[in-house]
């Protein structure tokens, strides 16, 4: 009898551990009023939900227990929270977006020539310039607004609604919450920041499924996702990756990974890391913005922890795969 009771307790404990349903309510940080609707999701996945008319939500995060939770809503900056717990309801406060009024606003109807030029820049830097980008369409471009600096050197983009993307190359529909986009014309440098949720997989028939599988596999090979998945299992060499430091020394797993426990790992190094993918010399580079950069078995890494240069910096939204993707 004692054995049966112990067995039942073990099962219940496992269910509690793996069925992590988080609940919460979302507010405006300034007015303290309910925010509705808001999207609550795991960035880069299909896992998400919407808050109801009372600002309440619940979401099962069992598949990604160590991943940050992201909350986004129209007119607000996204909030990302780590180490969320299902033990008690969350109270989440979103900050409203404030736009610079001293800059020139180019909306969907005004200054058509400037808007067309800015859209070309935005598509190129946001979607990328790989082959997949040419089969990737932003379906609500009218919701994108631009601000040009007084000297016309810098372009900023804002989206009054989530950006909707139809990726006909990889077979996904995507919703992207844009928090920041800046492009400097003289230096041709840019930065953008936001969060992405995959809303639909378009593999409807066998012919299209095979086409998408091939395109997805090509996007995966040599990607940042593949790199971190291979690094997690200490299998970089088999995946075709080599890591070198600034002195061109090959670095093994133990020199670049700090492991807090079996479920928590960090990328760390002194200086810039060179990444070789079936090459003798690095074609990509990791520049550290933090000393320790959390990464997960599914290929997730802290986006604010590092910046990329070289080949692995080129793929953008048009080449991004959901964390559910499997190359098997």
Query: What is the spatial distance between Cα 108 and Cα 111, in angstroms, rounded to a whole number?
Result: 8
The reply to whether omega before 115 is within 30° of 0 (cis) is no
Smallest CA-to-CA distance from 226 within 142, 88, 320 is with: 320
Smallest CA-to-CA distance from 179 within 108, 80, 267 is with: 80
Q: Are 164 and 175 in contact (CB under 8 A)?
A: yes
pTM: 0.88
Q: Are 93 and 27 in contact (CB under 8 A)?
A: yes
Note the pLDDT of residue 206: 84
Note the pLDDT of residue 32: 96
Q: What is the pLDDT of residues 183-192, one digit of tens each?
A: 999 999 989 9
Q: How far is CA 59 from CA 18, 186, 196, 302, in A?
A: 13, 45, 17, 22
| Matching residue, tokens 């529909």 | 173
| Alpha-carbon Rg for the chain in angstroms | 22
Task: Show pLDDT as tens, one digit a residue, over the chain (328 residues).
Answer: 444 443 333 334 343 444 689 999 999 999 999 999 999 999 999 999 999 999 999 999 999 988 999 999 998 999 999 888 888 999 999 999 875 444 455 665 568 889 999 999 999 999 999 999 999 999 999 999 998 888 889 999 999 899 999 999 999 999 999 999 999 999 999 899 999 999 888 887 788 899 999 999 999 999 999 999 999 999 999 999 999 999 999 999 999 999 988 789 999 998 999 999 999 899 999 999 999 999 999 999 999 999 999 999 999 999 999 999 998 8
Note the pLDDT of residue 38: 96
Q: How far is CA 236 from the centre of its chain?
A: 22
Query: What is the spatial distance between Cα 133 and Cα 167, in angstroms, rounded to a whole number?
Result: 8
Note the pLDDT of residue 48: 96
Q: How far is CA 63 from CA 54, 66, 84, 108, 323, in A?
A: 27, 9, 14, 40, 11
Classify 300 as helix, strand or coil: coil
Torsion over CA: 233, 235, 236, 238 (sign): negative
């Amino acid at each position: 009898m004692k054995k049966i009771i112990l067995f039942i307790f073990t099962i219940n404990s496992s269910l509690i551990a793996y069925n992590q349903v988080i609940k919460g309510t979302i507010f405006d940080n300034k007015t303290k009023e309910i925010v509705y609707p808001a999207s609550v999701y795991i960035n880069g996945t299909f896992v998400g939900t919407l808050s109801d008319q009372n600002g309440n939500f619940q979401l099962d995060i069992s598949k990604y227990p160590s991943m940050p939770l992201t909350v986004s809503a129209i007119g607000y900056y996204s909030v990302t929270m780590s180490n969320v717990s299902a033990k008690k309801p969350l109270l989440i406060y979103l900050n409203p977006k404030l736009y610079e009024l001293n800059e020139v606003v180019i909306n969907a109807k005004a200054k058509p020539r400037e808007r067309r030029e800015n859209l070309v820049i935005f598509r190129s830097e946001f979607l990328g310039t790989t082959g997949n980008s040419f089969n990737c369409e932003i379906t609500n471009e009218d919701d994108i607004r631009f601000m040009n600096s007084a000297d016309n050197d810098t372009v900023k983009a804002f989206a009054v609604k989530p950006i909707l993307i139809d990726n006909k190359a990889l077979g996904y529909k995507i919703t992207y919450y844009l928090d920041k986009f800046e492009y400097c014309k003289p230096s041709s440098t840019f930065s953008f920041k936001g969060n992405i949720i995959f809303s639909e997989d378009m593999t409807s028939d066998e012919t299209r499924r095979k086409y998408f599988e091939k395109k997805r596999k090509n996007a995966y090979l040599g990607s940042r996702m593949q790199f971190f998945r291979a690094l997690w299992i200490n299998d970089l060499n088999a995946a075709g990756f080599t890591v070198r430091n600034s002195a061109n020394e090959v670095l093994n797993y133990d020199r670049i990974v700090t492991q807090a426990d079996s479920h928590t790992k960090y990328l760390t190094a002194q200086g810039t890391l060179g990444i070789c993918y079936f090459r003798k010399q690095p074609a990509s580079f990791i520049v550290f913005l933090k000393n320790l950069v959390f990464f997960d078995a599914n290929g997730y890494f802290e986006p604010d922890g590092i910046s990329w240069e070289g080949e692995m910096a080129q793929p953008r939204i048009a080449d991004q795969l959901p964390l559910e993707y499997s190359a098997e």
